[in-house]
Structure 1
Amino acid sequence: MLKALYIVNRPDYFLSHRVALAQSLAQEGYEIHIASVKHESTEHLYKLGFHFHFVDIERGRTNPFKELLGLISVLRLVKQLKPDIVHCITVKPVLYGGLAARLLGTPKVVVAIAGLGSVFTTDSVKNSVLRFISIQLYKMSLGNKNLTAIFQNKHDRSFFVERKIIPESRTRLIRGSGVDLDKFALSPMPVTEKRAILLSARLLREKGVFEFLHAAKLVLQVRNDAEFWLAGDIDPANPSSLTKQDVDQWSAIEGIKFLGFQSDIYSVIKSSEFVVLPSYREGFPKALIEAAAVGRAIITTDVPGCEDAVINNKTGFLVPVKQVEMLVEKILFLLDEPEKCAEFGRAGRVYAENNFDLKFVVQEHKNIYLS
């Protein structure tokens, strides 16, 4: 039986972004293996009939000795399984899985570059050093002639190609991980006393969470019919995460609600009036294509990844990054113009149907596996 091994930083990320692809392969007779850290969601992988393997690739850890052990655990697994396909998703799995597959001669290797990460997007002395090291590691890990790198936006692909990390001939562009258009069905605008403006993301500085909060505070000073929802958790493994103290401080403001992680994000999007993501940079934000599918207008930033998820002035608005005043202006516009907001949402649904259908994304990946 043919084997496909997915190496990913967290099982829950795999379940939200790649499970449909793995299920499609399983239907064609592949034995599906998932390698990741231990997590409460691993039980769901077993229920789907997948095999789970623990590998020590904890996010946010930089201890060289422990990282070496993490690489060894991946090497051992690839050597043991001898998979026909290795698909690596997120930074450490790409670095360690790519290198292991190269050393062990795996027939087909696919890596997903879902954004550049905070090392490349946040300037500091430490990140400058880590950036240099990361580029060298990427060159080693992606040097396999049997490897194809999937990028979610043209800017990230150009970054890698221009630095000679990988030749363009071994890259592919697939915009995002797709959205299930049946599950995220078009929904009418809610009729509620309080009109919810939603940010759905991990609570990281780079997601523009503080810009969203400052904009919320300003809007709430002039509007009493709005609420600002944040659906997502803090991420202790990420140095740019909000803290519990931050959450407690901001949630004390009436009209700002931290919802935490939401397993049924469709219901949350349906209950919101429009969606905001003032991110500094993305691979391709799943939260935005889900919002578009449900028929919600979007306000996001004119940065790589985000700018591809919105047609400015048709499905939503693009605003300059870190510009709270412009964010406030567009939020107030959509609150003042509910018919325009609904019009943007309907256009967003059409855009999602034409560009982000999960079935198309799954087939694109399978074409790469077979190439």
Structure 2
Amino acid sequence: MPKKKIIRTSTIALSLNVLLKGQLSFLNNHYNVVAVSGNDEDLKEVEKREQVHVHAIEMQRQISPLKDLISLIKLYLYFKKEQPQIVHSITPKAGLLSMIAAKYAGVPVRMHTFTGLIFPSKRGLLQRILIFMDKILCCHATNIYPEGQGVKNDLLSYKITTKPLKIIANGNVNGIDVDYFNVNQVSMEQQNQLKNELGILTDDFVFIFVGRLVGDKGINELIEAFKQVSKQFSTSKLLLVGLFEEKLDPLHSETLNEISQNKNIISVGFQKDVRFYFSIANALVFPSYREGFPNVVMQAGAMSLPSIVTNINGCNEIIIENYNGLVIPVKNTIAIFDAMRKMVEDVDFYNDLKQNSRKRIVDNYEQNVVWKAILDEYKSLEKYV
């Protein structure tokens, strides 16, 4: 008997490649899995690593009516041709287009996972448009999955849908490979070599940020706070791992100047394997304005790092105040400074947070538990196929 077909979609292939790493290969043992997104090197890597079929359909992240219509038609024709039993989307635009196309192509099970919501952080006309788009998405989906409790609460409070909302496992779209994200995977020799290359000394306290270097990630506030931290604690360092996005969400000019001029700020760009950088850091600082269920915070925790995070969806579920990190208000430079200062000054407090960090992730977000829960969900929906 041939395996049932599942098509997984995302707007860009990077989401499939990073957010669902390993999951598609696991599911392919039970289903015929096809990955659909825009065509680039990430999609090729998904095909090679996950050993699944891929199909390229370009989708725009921004609102682009004409291009969106073309993508919608292409998705509809592809779903009609392939006749999958399930289409399961992540990311906003892929969700909207895939759910509409799948419904009219006659796909019986149409699943969307909300990995994050954009509209709560927007205002005015743009917010109303984004809410309307998510309502249309949910109208065309048969099953809706918020990635965490915070995302679920927002979907309910903004009345996006009246359909049941189910959180799979403890939240998060893929869980964490706690064997891979383990500080023991990086030798002391490798750590010392990287420290030497970056000019980090043995006694330095290294804060790390991993992600896109954009305004929405709280980078402007982080840099302003660290400017004060570095004046008070000369042995503090800030390690920035990620790319600038000058078009979508550029940083303030004074922020860029401080990054380039402050000798205690080290920017290394995008890094494929972030474990090496986590291994030489002392704490993650992640002052984002909005998230779904951030992998970075879980990765840092698995690498035994406590975190300073903002009180937003996902972050405030992974981090328990004064247990494995600190939870601070959004867009608050003073709060970031106070949290960073406390970690540097209070050694006993810091060590307590560090001791609890990995345990929190292993106990709640181990990858195999998440994958099995997703597989069980697919199996439970087969009766509708």
Q: Does 1:251 align with 2:260?
A: yes
Aligned positions of 1:319-358 closer than 5 A:
319-358=328-367
Q: State how far apart, in whole Å, the 2-side matches of 1:5 and 1:324 are.
A: 43
Unpaired segments of 5 or more residues in structure 2? 192-200, 381-385
Q: State how far apart, in whole Å, the 2-side matches of 1:280 and 1:323 are.
A: 10
Aligned positions of 1:233-272 closer than 5 A:
233-236=243-246, 238=248, 240-242=249-251, 247=256, 250-272=259-281
Q: State how far apart, in whole Å, the 2-side matches of 1:168 and 1:204 are.
A: 34
**Other-structure match for 2:9:** 7
Deviates more, 1:186-195 or 1:91-100: 186-195
Q: Of residues 162, 171, 186 in structure 2, which corresponds to 1:167? A: 162
Please report how far the alpha carbon of residue 277 of structure 1 lies from its aligned counterpart in structure 2 after TM superposition: 0.6
User: Given the two structures, how large is their TM-score scaled by the length of structure 2?
Assistant: 0.87
Please report how far the alpha carbon of residue 129 of structure 1 lies from its aligned counterpart in structure 2 after TM superposition: 2.2
Q: State how far apart, in whole Å, the 2-side matches of 1:333 and 1:170 are.
A: 39
**Other-structure match for 1:156:** 151
Q: State how far apart, in whole Å, the 2-side matches of 1:263 and 1:339 are.
A: 33
Q: State how far apart, in whole Å, the 2-side matches of 1:297 and 1:161 are.
A: 31
Aligned positions of 1:113-192 closer than 5 A:
113-117=114-118, 119-123=119-123, 128-144=124-140, 147-173=142-168, 174-177=170-173, 178-187=175-184, 192=202
Do 2:308 and 2:325's aligned partners in 1 also have CA atoms closer than 8 Å? yes
1:122-176 CA-to-partner distances (Å, cap 9, x unmatched) read: 33xxxx323323333333332246x221112223223323444323524335521
Q: How many residues align?
A: 362
Do 1:209 and 1:278's aligned partners in 2 also have CA atoms closer than 8 Å? yes
- Change in Cα spacing, 1:63 to 1:11, as seen in structure 2 (3 Å) is closer
Q: Percent identity?
A: 23
**Other-structure match for 2:104:** 103
Deviates more, 1:36-45 or 1:294-303: 36-45
Unpaired segments of 5 or more residues in structure 1? none
Q: Tell me the SS of whatever aligns to 1:93.
A: helix
Please report how far the alpha carbon of residue 249 of structure 1 lies from its aligned counterpart in structure 2 after TM superposition: 5.1
Q: Note the aligned Cα RMSD (angstroms).
A: 2.3
Please report how far the alpha carbon of residue 106 of structure 1 lies from its aligned counterpart in structure 2 after TM superposition: 1.2
Q: State how far apart, in whole Å, the 2-side matches of 1:179 and 1:291 are.
A: 10
Deviates more, 1:130-139 or 1:312-321: 130-139
Q: State how far apart, in whole Å, the 2-side matches of 1:158 and 1:300 are.
A: 19
Do 1:20 and 1:362's aligned partners in 2 also have CA atoms closer than 8 Å? no
Do 2:149 and 2:167's aligned partners in 1 also have CA atoms closer than 8 Å? no
Amino acid at match of 1:151: P
Please report how far the alpha carbon of residue 352 of structure 1 lies from its aligned counterpart in structure 2 after TM superposition: 0.6
Q: Tell me the SS of whatever aligns to 1:321.
A: coil
Q: State how far apart, in whole Å, the 1-side matches of 2:247 and 2:58 are.
A: 14
**Other-structure match for 1:66:** 67
Amino acid at match of 2:369: F
**Other-structure match for 1:311:** 320
Q: State how far apart, in whole Å, the 1-side matches of 2:369 and 2:338 are.
A: 36
Q: State how far apart, in whole Å, the 2-side matches of 1:295 and 1:319 are.
A: 20
Deviates more, 1:41-50 or 1:71-80: 41-50
Deviates more, 1:162-171 or 1:47-56: 162-171
Q: Does 1:216 align with 2:210?
A: no
Aligned positions of 1:14-29 closer than 5 A:
14-28=16-30
- Change in Cα spacing, 1:156 to 1:256, as seen in structure 2 (3 Å) is same
Please report how far the alpha carbon of residue 20 of structure 1 lies from its aligned counterpart in structure 2 after TM superposition: 2.2
Q: Tell me the SS of whatever aligns to 1:192.
A: coil
Q: State how far apart, in whole Å, the 2-side matches of 1:244 and 1:369 are.
A: 48
**Other-structure match for 2:240:** 230
1:332-354 CA-to-partner distances (Å, cap 9, x unmatched) read: 12112334323212211111111
Q: State how far apart, in whole Å, the 2-side matches of 1:58 and 1:246 are.
A: 29
Q: State how far apart, in whole Å, the 2-side matches of 1:233 and 1:155 are.
A: 27
Please report how far the alpha carbon of residue 244 of structure 1 lies from its aligned counterpart in structure 2 after TM superposition: 9.2
